[in-house]
C-alpha cells in the first residue's frame, strides 16, 4: 500500500514537471501559451537529467510555461531553500524520486498570478507553498494544479514562508507525536543548529519544554551557542562533552529527557540513547553521519527504550490534507507571536545556484541557502 501511494506521488510530481516543457521541444510538442502573445512564456528552472553530484548535474535552463487549465494555478516563485532532502533527491538517495528530467526543490513560497475557471480556493496575490514533496520549486514560474498547493498567510516574513513546509513541520510533529510531554520536561537532540534543530528549540520553548542541544565542536562554538540560546535553547553542548563521564551529574538540576531527536546516527545517536530516561523514545529523522544507529542491548532491555523513525512525507500520506493545513496554520500562529523564526539564511539569486549548492554541502554551514527568483 505504501509503495503504491509513493509511486502515485512520484507520478503526480512527474505530471507537474511535464507542465513545464523544455524550450527546445525535444520532449514533446510545445505547450500552449498562457499569455496573449503567440510565443509561449519562458521561465528559468534548475533542472537535473540524471542523479549525481548536484554541483555537476544541475543546470539552469529555459523552459516553456504550460497553458493554465480550469483547475490550474499560475504562480511566480518568490523564494525556495536548499534542504538536505533536496540534495539527497538529486543524488538519488531519497525515499521519493521524481521521474527525470526534474526540476529541483521541494519547498518554497510562491505568489499566485492567475487561476483557472474552476479554482475556488485561491486568487491572484495569494501566497502558496507545495502540498507535497517533488513539485520542483527551483524555478521562476510554474503552472500547478490547485490541489498541489496550500495557501499560507502573506503577513509572515518571506523567509519564514519559504522554509515553513518541511523543517518546522517535522520539528512540531516529533515533539507532539511520540511522547506525551508536559511543561518542564526535557528533550535532547543532535544536529541542533540544523533547520529542524532550530525549529525544535523554538517550538519546545513555546511549549514550556527544556532542551539539551548537541552540536559538533567548531572554532566559533561560543558564537553558535549564543545564537541557539537566543532562540530558546537551555543547554548547548558538544558531541565531545556529551561523551564525558561528568554528564551523569548534568541531570541533577533537570529531568532526564524522555525524548531524543536524532539526525546524525552513529556514535552520536548511541550517546543520545544513553541520556534517555527509562521508557524514553529516540526518533531518527536523518542520518548525516551516514552510519547506522547502534543501540546498546542493555539499554533496550533494562531501560525499555524505544527506537522510532519519522518522515514527513509518510506523515502526510497517513493524514488528510486538512490536517496538514491545520499544522501549517498552527506554525503560522507561532511565527506571528515571534515564537518561531526562520533559520539563519543566506539569500542567493537563482543564477548563482552553483555557489548556493556548494555552500549547502559544506560542513559546519549554519546558514541555509535560499534561492530568490
Contact in structure between 31 and 40 (CB atoms under 8 Å): yes
| From 34, 48, 94, 285, active-site residue | 94
pLDDT band at 39 (very low <50, low <70, confident <90, very high): low
Domains in the chain, CATH or no CATH each: 43-163+342-372 (3.90.180.10), 167-313 (3.40.50.720)
Decide if 94 is catalytic.
yes
Question: Which residue's entry shows cell 537535473?
Answer: 48
d(CA 95, CA 246) in angstroms, rounded, equals 39
Contact in structure between 191 and 264 (CB atoms under 8 Å): yes
For residue 62, what is its C-alpha cell?
A: 529555459
pLDDT tens per residue across span 92-147: 999 999 999 999 999 999 999 999 999 999 999 999 999 999 999 999 999 999 99
pLDDT at 2 over 70: no
The closest of 162, 196, 168 to 285, measured between CA atoms, is: 196
pLDDT tens per residue across span 293-307: 999 999 999 999 999
Q: Is 218 left (phi over 0), alpha (psi -120 to 50) or beta?
A: beta
d(CA 106, CA 82) in angstroms, rounded, equals 8
Q: Report the pLDDT averaged over residues 226-244.
A: 96
pLDDT at 27 over 70: no
To the question of pTM greater than 0.75 for the whole model, the response is yes
Task: Say what the pLDDT of residue 132 is.
Answer: 95
Task: Say what the pLDDT of residue 170 is.
Answer: 98
pLDDT tens per residue across span 320-368: 999 999 999 999 999 999 999 999 899 999 999 999 999 999 887 778 9
Task: Say what the pLDDT of residue 6 is.
Answer: 43
pLDDT tens per residue across span 168-209: 999 999 999 999 999 999 999 999 999 999 999 999 999 999
Looking only at the bridges linking them, the beta strands covering 109-115 and 127-130 are antiparallel
Amino acid at each position: 500500500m505504501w509503495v503504491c501511494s509513493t509511486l502515485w506521488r512520484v507520478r503526480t510530481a512527474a505530471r507537474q514537471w511535464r507542465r513545464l516543457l523544455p524550450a527546445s521541444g525535444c520532449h514533446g510538442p510545445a505547450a500552449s501559451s498562457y499569455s496573449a502573445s503567440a510565443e509561449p512564456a519562458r521561465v528559468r528552472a534548475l533542472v537535473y537529467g540524471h542523479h549525481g553530484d548536484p554541483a555537476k548535474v544541475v543546470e539552469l535552463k529555459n523552459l516553456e510555461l504550460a497553458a493554465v487549465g480550469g483547475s490550474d494555478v499560475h504562480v511566480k516563485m518568490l523564494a525556495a531553500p536548499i534542504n538536505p532532502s533536496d540534495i539527497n533527491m538529486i543524488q538519488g538517495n531519497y525515499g521519493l524520486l521524481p521521474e527525470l528530467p526534474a526540476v529541483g526543490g521541494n519547498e518554497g513560497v510562491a505568489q499566485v498570478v492567475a487561476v483557472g475557471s474552476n479554482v475556488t480556493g485561491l486568487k491572484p496575490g495569494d501566497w502558496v507553498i507545495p502540498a507535497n514533496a517533488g513539485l520542483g520549486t527551483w524555478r521562476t514560474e510554474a503552472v500547478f494544479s490547485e490541489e498541489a498547493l496550500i495557501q499560507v498567510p502573506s503577513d509572515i516574513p518571506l523567509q519564514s514562508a519559504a522554509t515553513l513546509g518541511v523543517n518546522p513541520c517535522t520539528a512540531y510533529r516529533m515533539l507532539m507525536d511520540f511522547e506525551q510531554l508536559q511543561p518542564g520536561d526535557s528533550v535532547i537532540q543532535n544536529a541542533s543548529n540544523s533547520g529542524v534543530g532550530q525549529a525544535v528549540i523554538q517550538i519546545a520553548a513555546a511549549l514550556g519544554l527544556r532542551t539539551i542541544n548537541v552540536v559538533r565542536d567548531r572554532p566559533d562554538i561560543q558564537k553558535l551557542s549564543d545564537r541557539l540560546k537566543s532562540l530558546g535553547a537551555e543547554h548547548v553542548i558538544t558531541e565531545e562533552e556529551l561523551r564525558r563521564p561528568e554528564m551523569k551529574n548534568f541531570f541533577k538540576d533537570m529531568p532526564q529527557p524522555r525524548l531524543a531527536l536524532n539526525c546524525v546516527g552513529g556514535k552520536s545517536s548511541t550517546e543520545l540513547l544513553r541520556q534517555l530516561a527509562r521508557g524514553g523514545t529516540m526518533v531518527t529523522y536523518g542520518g548525516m553521519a551516514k552510519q547506522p544507529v547502534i543501540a546498546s542491548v542493555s539499554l533496550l532491555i533494562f531501560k525499555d527504550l524505544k527506537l522510532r523513525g519519522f518522515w514527513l512525507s509518510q506523515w502526510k500520506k497517513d493524514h488528510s490534507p486538512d490536517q496538514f493545513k491545520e499544522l501549517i496554520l498552527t506554525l503560522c500562529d507561532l511565527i506571528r507571536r515571534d515564537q518561531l523564526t526562520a533559520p539563519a539564511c543566506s539569500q542567493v539569486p537563482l543564477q548563482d545556484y552553483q555557489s548556493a549548492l556548494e555552500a549547502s554541502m559544506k560542513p559546519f554551514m549554519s546558514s541555509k541557502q535560499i534561492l530568490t527568483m
